[in-house]
Amino acid sequence: MSRSAIRPLATAALALTAVLLMPRLHRADATTLSDAVVAGHRLAASWCKECHAIEPGDSTSGKGPAFQRIADMPSATELSLKVFLRSNHTNMPNFVIAPGDADEIVRYILSLKRN
């Protein structure tokens, strides 16, 4: 077989491999995201629940806004929430949140976002 005949076969094989691996990569990412959301909920329950309603539809009025309300704000992005959690605020305790923990809390809050 000549080189010119092998190239299209190799390209087709590579494309097929990529297509077959795509669902597996997607599922792995979804599991990781789901795990982060669960971990973020657990952290929020231990650190934030005293002042915030952390559950969707929870009508408990605390000192701070409900996580559902925060998630639904147009300005609630991954970046804006991470910056907020790492900034000092006069109306919030000065928690020292590890970057990984902040990421998980942010993922949990964003998982509450309604369209």
Domain with 52 in it: what CATH number? 1.10.760
Residue 18 lies in a domain: no
pTM: 0.68
Range of the domain at 101: 28-111
Q: Give the separation between CA 28 and CA 12, rounded to whole angstroms.
A: 25
Q: How far apart are CA 102 and CA 95, in angstroms?
A: 11
Q: What percent of the chain has pLDDT over 70?
A: 70
pLDDT tier for residue 2 given thresholds of 50, 70 and 90: low
pLDDT on residue 23: 40
Angle made by CA atoms 109, 106, 37, in degrees to the nearest 5: 70
Question: Is 54 contained in some domain?
Answer: yes
What is the average pLDDT across 73-93? Answer: 90
- The answer to whether 101 and 43 are in contact (CB under 8 A) is yes
**SS3 state of residue 91:** coil
- The answer to whether the CB of 47 falls within 8 A of the CB of 95 is yes
58 belongs to a structural domain: yes
**3 located within any domain:** no
Is the residue at 2 inside a domain? no
Structure confidence by residue, pLDDT tens digits, 14-70: 444 443 444 433 334 445 668 889 999 999 999 999 889 999 878 776 788 999 999
Q: Please state the domain count of the chain.
A: 1
Confidence tier at 87 by pLDDT (50, 70, 90) = confident
* 27 phi/psi in degrees, rounded to 5: -65, -40
> Does residue 44 lie in a domain region?
yes
Higher pLDDT, 74 or 17: 74
Sole residue written with tokens 């990569």: 25
Identify whether the C-beta of residue 85 lies closer than 8 Å to the C-beta of residue 77.
no
Position 7 in a domain: no
Residue 52 lies in a domain: yes
